[in-house]
Structure 1
Amino acid sequence: MEGSVEKKFPPVIELNVGGKHYTTTLLTLVKCKDTMLAAMFSGNYDVKKDQHGRYFIDADGENFHYILNYLRYGELPPKEIAPKIYREAAYFGLQRMVEELEKHPSFLARIHRESFRAQFPGYTKLVNSIINKIYQESSKNTETISSIMVTLFAKDKKPKLETFDKNHWCTMKARNKKQTKVDFILGPWTSRTTEKEVMDCIAYDLKERGFNLTKEAIGQCSYKCDSPPDYPGEATVENCPKAIYKITFHWWK
């Protein structure tokens, strides 16, 4: 294999990576076996060249120097951009670099957050639906804020009354105001995570997307069910125990 590499490629390689130019050695590019770069410069493939004779690699040219520095010195990128370079390392098949980046605190935190979110069926869909609703209503909103209401419930309790509608859509009735339906509902989930912790997670993810917002618990669902006339026990009223939160988006802060 080494003989075929030496015949096909010069010892010093000129590269065009996504429009950015680099100069390195052939030995650096093939240093780590079983990678995309080692395969490209193995002599077994026809590597395309640009109009100036540089070998072309279709990748992010701005970040490629971190890949080269890892191949040269085993050097990892600064912590603040480690997640971005992780994508490049995976793209080039640098498995050892990938594994080292995965041990970085910022990346471990990201993995932990992903595991946390995975506990709640429909979580990602909920966050995307919130963003889509805000987007669709943005042109109609003439206020400095936008608000949505979300019902969160960790457990789906069995109702006491047979006439209690488990599938009702939660509503909120504030004093001197009309009864309003919540926008979204999430639950139940099997972990011991509280509704407040899930709300904190939703707020965190929305803020990560760039939204300026506040959140608050505003009470429980106003749905209630009266016992039927032929109820064998003492007349009773069963209320929905599900918690309702309000997320307020601030457009002028």
Structure 2
Amino acid sequence: MSDVSDNDSVSSVEEIFTIRQIQQQSPRPIPSNIKHAVPSRGGFVREIHSSERMPSAVPSAVPMQLCPARENNNTVLLGKFPPIITLNVGGVLHMTRLSTLLKYSDSMLAALFSGRYQVDQDKDGYYFLDSNGTVFSHILEYLRYGTLPPNDMVLSVYRESEYYGLHSLTEKLELKPEIASLQVKESHRAQFPGYNNTRDEIIRTAIANAAVSKVGEVIVHAFRKEFTPRVQNFNPNHGCIVEQAHVTIGPWDSTASEEMLIKCLETDLMDEGYVVKPHESRRKCKYYYGQTCQKFVFKITIVFE
């Protein structure tokens, strides 16, 4: 009897001790203003706010995975992305590996899918890029295989490669004739200050002047250097021919001549689809009083058919 009594006593003591240990390890209330991410069914993540308590059934050894998770505004929270990415690019779906998008670490695509930024998602949960989906397919082909686009897509892909910061693709496309020609034209235009504004002003003036005859004549005063009279009795208010000009451009620092500027303007207008008559030779001012006036004008004529 004494042996049984002793064993019962020991069991009772152990049971009481075990119960007390469990009570000491029970979860404590979560402090206010703190959010916890806990695994839910299916491996997804939900947030627990300060009004809730951590469920006691969740083992402490379960890792707290913070991503991917979404807010109600279809924005991916900061963190990791799945290894296979489905993209909605301007309404066109593309599927690729995350490693493909991260191939060039200095690109915008790599930064966008690095986990440091928020990425919008559409209603189906696909990551959204506001670009041309057809053009983007050539971007993916370059990322996958280093393939360059066909000639008729070079310009569009070049613009997208600049936007996404794919410098290696941009540099290769700059050697294509389509892009090389554009660069030469841009460097040519850059010699003349306010070139684009001047071209637009010529078009607007031609439209206004063609209201009756459908022929828009525009008088342009272009000068590489300012004219400074050398004689004291030169009258600056002599009714100079440049007073007839609708548009004025100059001076500029490059050695490009005024004639070159006019040719550049006419070429651009024709490239845009305008019918342009060959310009006449420049018309000089006829004023003379101790010194000839060095100013002159050109006439650009646009025909609206």
- Name the SS for the 1:38 alignment partner: helix
Counterparts of 1:20-169 in structure 2, within 5 Å, are 20-135=92-207, 137=208, 141-165=211-235
Aligned residue for 2:298? Answer: 245
Q: Which amino acid aligns with 2:294?
A: P
Is the CA contact (8 Å cut-off) linking 2:102 and 2:110 kept in structure 1? yes
**Closer, same or farther: CA 165–113 of 1 in aligned 2, 3 Å:** farther
Q: In structure 2, what is the Cα distance between the partners aligned to 1:14 and 1:145?
A: 54
Is the CA contact (8 Å cut-off) linking 1:148 and 1:248 kept in structure 2? yes
**So what's the TM-score if we normalise by structure 2?**
0.65
Q: In structure 2, what is the Cα distance between the partners aligned to 1:51 and 1:154?
A: 58
Greater share of strand:
1
Specify every segment of 5 or more residues in structure 1 that has no aligned partner in the other structure, as ranges: 173-179, 228-237
Is 1:195 paired with 2:265? no
Is the CA contact (8 Å cut-off) linking 1:213 and 1:247 kept in structure 2? yes
Q: Which amino acid aligns with 1:171?
A: I
**So what's the TM-score if we normalise by structure 1?**
0.77
Is the CA contact (8 Å cut-off) linking 1:169 and 1:182 kept in structure 2? no
Cα deviation for residue 167 of structure 1 reads 7.5
Per-residue CA deviation, residues 36-73 of structure 1 (Å, 9 max, x unaligned), is 22223333444332112211112222311111111011
Q: Which amino acid aligns with 1:247?
A: I
Aligned residue for 1:231? Answer: none
Q: In structure 2, what is the Cα distance between the partners aligned to 1:168 and 1:116?
A: 34
Cα deviation for residue 192 of structure 1 reads 3.1
**Closer, same or farther: CA 222–58 of 1 in aligned 2, 3 Å:** same
Q: In structure 1, what is the Cα distance between the partners aligned to 2:289 and 2:126?
A: 79
Which has the higher relative contact order, 1 or 2, with Cα contacts under 8 A spaced 6 or more apart? 1
Is the CA contact (8 Å cut-off) linking 1:221 and 1:242 kept in structure 2? yes
Cα deviation for residue 218 of structure 1 reads 4.2
Identity of aligned residues (%): 37
Q: In structure 2, what is the Cα distance between the partners aligned to 1:118 and 1:183?
A: 22
Q: In structure 1, what is the Cα distance between the partners aligned to 2:114 and 2:67?
A: 5
Q: Which amino acid aligns with 1:153?
A: F
Q: In structure 1, what is the Cα distance between the partners aligned to 2:266 and 2:177?
A: 22
Specify every segment of 5 or more residues in structure 2 that has no aligned partner in the other structure, as ranges: 1-65, 69-78
Aligned residue for 2:61? Answer: none
Q: Which moved more, 1:85-94 or 1:212-221?
A: 212-221
Decide which structure has the larger Cα Rg and report it.
2
Cα deviation for residue 24 of structure 1 reads 1.9
Cα deviation for residue 154 of structure 1 reads 3.4
**Closer, same or farther: CA 131–119 of 1 in aligned 2, 3 Å:** same
Cα deviation for residue 8 of structure 1 reads 4.1
CA-atom RMSD, angstroms?
3.0
Q: In structure 1, what is the Cα distance between the partners aligned to 2:67 and 2:141?
A: 22
Is the CA contact (8 Å cut-off) linking 2:227 and 2:295 kept in structure 1? no
